[in-house]
Amino acid sequence: MSGNKKEFVRVCSVNDIAEGQAKAFHVGNKHIAVYFSEGKYYATDDICSHEHEHLSEGWLEGHVVECPKHGAQFDLKTGDAVSLPATEPIAVYTVKVENGDVLIEE
């Protein structure tokens, strides 16, 4: 197997997440949040880079999630912190949908 080959792992079914919602999943040893917004799926680390809080419990608007604890916002496309108090980005994962399943790149 080539070291450059991208491996995708199933996280959930497309039916598991309603439009405008997010859900948390364990993928290996990672806490992942999967979001479904404006017809598109996104996946990031579930833990805010500012303080240990689950982003999957935050508010979603377009491709931005707001942490429920202190209001830090993150761009789901890039992982960049777009508002204080967060200054560090969060990890984002490539998402694809196949046969009704949501998969992320490991």
SS (H, E, C) the chain: CCCCCCCEEEEEEHHHCCCCEEEEEEECCEEEEEEEECCEEEEEECECCCCCCEHHHCEEECCEEECCCCCCEEECCCCCEEECCCCCCCCEECEEEECCEEEEEC
Confidence at 2, pLDDT banded by 50, 70, 90: very low
**Residue pLDDT, tens place only, 27-48:** 989 999 999 999 999 999 999 9
User: How confident is the model at residue 83, as a pLDDT?
Assistant: 95
- Domains of the chain plus CATH, in order, are 8-105 (2.102.10.10)
- Predicted TM-score (pTM) of the model is 0.91
